[in-house]
Amino acid sequence: MDRTSEDQIDKKQKIIHIDMDAFYASVEQRDHPEFKGKPVIVGGRPEKRGVVATASYEARRYGIHSAMASAQAIKLCPNAIFVKPRFELYKHVSSQIREIFFRYTDLIEPLSLDEAYLDVTEDKLQKGSAIAIAKQIKEAIKTELKLTASAGISTSKFIAKIASDMEKPNGLTFIGPSKIEAFVAQLPVQKFFGVGKVTARRMNALNIFTGADLKALSKNQLITYFGKSGNFYYNIVRGIDQQKVQANRVTKSVGAEDTFSKDLQTLEQLEEELLSLAERVTNRLKTKKLAGCTITIKIKFSDFHQITRNFSTTKPIDSAKDIFDISRNLLQNALLKRQYSIRLLGISISKFRSIQFDPPPSRQQLFLF
């Protein structure tokens, strides 16, 4: 073992990953007692070709999940209760959750409204035990906010995040240092950080299906096959993960994308999809209080060939209409005079300008930026 990896193993971080259970839907069930125990879908209406933002666990039993077309969801569960999202409220609840986190640590890296990493290697209350802290956080969320969260606890962000998903809802999963290598060994490669569908397919073609298969390869082989990521895989299957919790991380781009269950072949379908993407991007921008100058669209064709097109404005924008208009132009130009069948469409916005209307960031605002 080289010196750096020894150091990394010696200095064990205590990381908690918290993820709220069926977040939007749970808030709606909390505020509408008549929805308790019922299949609740938060999202766009089926007749307006809306999509599911999330579904309560009762609705998930019917196979309903985030990003599914609401029209399909209602077919799976005709009795489902549809609720329009109340983003302002979810944002507020998110800040209440973070206030609870701040009792224990300032090292908080939010990933979205309902999810964050906490570094409690040195916690403010000197509890010492990450498990005890996770339990208390879950308890506070339960008693103060009447909601449930799932927690994953480990010595790295990567493992803590996987752990929080393992016993959902209302779960608490600890993966201690002595268990990490065995845990990573049995993990399917799809679960690895940065491994999307394409990389997973490549790995599978090389007969690599799990962490153990990755571990059987030398560092050189991994780097030959996967470039820079090879190094990351080499370390991670040995329980070494250098990623630090990054409090006040700066957002560089905000986006949304969808892979369609059936490839789209008409401009009309694509424009409807684009509108829904533009709305989602806008919601995310609003959550983060950002506006940006560069709009990028991503198009993946049915043969997996992918293109991006972008356009920059002089003034920052954040409205769904502006984002949609620009994206539509980009899309129309990109598809001009060509046959198409499209499997994925995405919009992202970047080059943020500070339209930060608020006074200089107080502690509570820091995590929004």
Footprint on this chain of Mg ion (rule: CB under 5 A)? 19-20, 23, 114
For residue 19, the minimal CB distance to ligand DCP (Å) is 5
The nearer residue to ligand DCP, 54 or 348, going by C-beta atoms, is 54
For residue 299, the minimal CB distance to ligand DCP (Å) is 19
The nearer residue to ligand DCP, 97 or 330, going by C-beta atoms, is 97
115 included as an active-site residue: yes
Residue 99 three-state SS: helix
For residue 22, the minimal CB distance to ligand DCP (Å) is 4
Footprint on this chain of ligand DCP (rule: CB under 6 A)? 19-24, 53-54, 66-67, 112, 114-115, 168-169
Of ligand DCP, Mg ion, none, which one does residue 101 interact with (CB within 5 to 8 Å by kind)? none
Q: How far apart are the first and last CA of the chain?
A: 39
For residue 152, the minimal CB distance to Mg ion (Å) is 12
Q: How far apart are CA 367 and CA 114, in angstroms?
A: 12
**Which structure tokens are listed for 142?**
């339960």
Of Mg ion, ligand DCP, none, which one does residue 319 interact with (CB within 5 to 8 Å by kind)? none
For residue 40, the minimal CB distance to Mg ion (Å) is 15
Q: At what angle do helices 219-226 and 228-236 cross, to 10 degrees?
A: 140
Of Mg ion, ligand DCP, none, which one does residue 53 interact with (CB within 5 to 8 Å by kind)? ligand DCP
For residue 102, the minimal CB distance to Mg ion (Å) is 20
Of Mg ion, ligand DCP, none, which one does residue 330 interact with (CB within 5 to 8 Å by kind)? none
The nearer residue to ligand DCP, 152 or 239, going by C-beta atoms, is 152
Q: How far apart are CA 56 and CA 328, in angstroms?
A: 33
DSSP 38-96: S-EEEES-GGGT-BEEEE-HHHHTTT--TTSBHHHHHHH-TTPEEE---HHHHHHHHHH
The Cβ of residue 368 has, within 10 Å, a number of other Cβ atoms equal to: 19
Of ligand DCP, Mg ion, none, which one does residue 54 interact with (CB within 5 to 8 Å by kind)? ligand DCP
The nearer residue to Mg ion, 20 or 344, going by C-beta atoms, is 20
* Catalytic pick among 28, 58, 109, 115: 115
The nearer residue to Mg ion, 162 or 217, going by C-beta atoms, is 162
Contact assessment for residue 289 and residue 318, using Cβ atoms and an 8 Å cutoff: no
Pairing of strands 306-317, 40-43: unpaired
Q: How far apart are CA 9 and CA 239, in angstroms?
A: 8
**Which structure tokens are listed for 264?**
């789209």
The nearer residue to ligand DCP, 168 or 215, going by C-beta atoms, is 168
For residue 159, the minimal CB distance to ligand DCP (Å) is 17
Of Mg ion, ligand DCP, none, which one does residue 279 interact with (CB within 5 to 8 Å by kind)? none
Q: Which of 198, 171, 173, 200 is nearest to 188 (CA)?
A: 200
DSSP 5-54: HHHHHHS---EEEEEETTHHHHHHHHH-GGGTTS-EEEES-GGGT-BEEE
The nearer residue to ligand DCP, 19 or 318, going by C-beta atoms, is 19
Helices (H), the chain: 3-10, 23-31, 57-60, 70-76, 87-102, 130-145, 157-164, 177-186, 197-205, 211-215, 219-226, 228-236, 267-288, 320-335, 363-366
Catalytic residues: 115
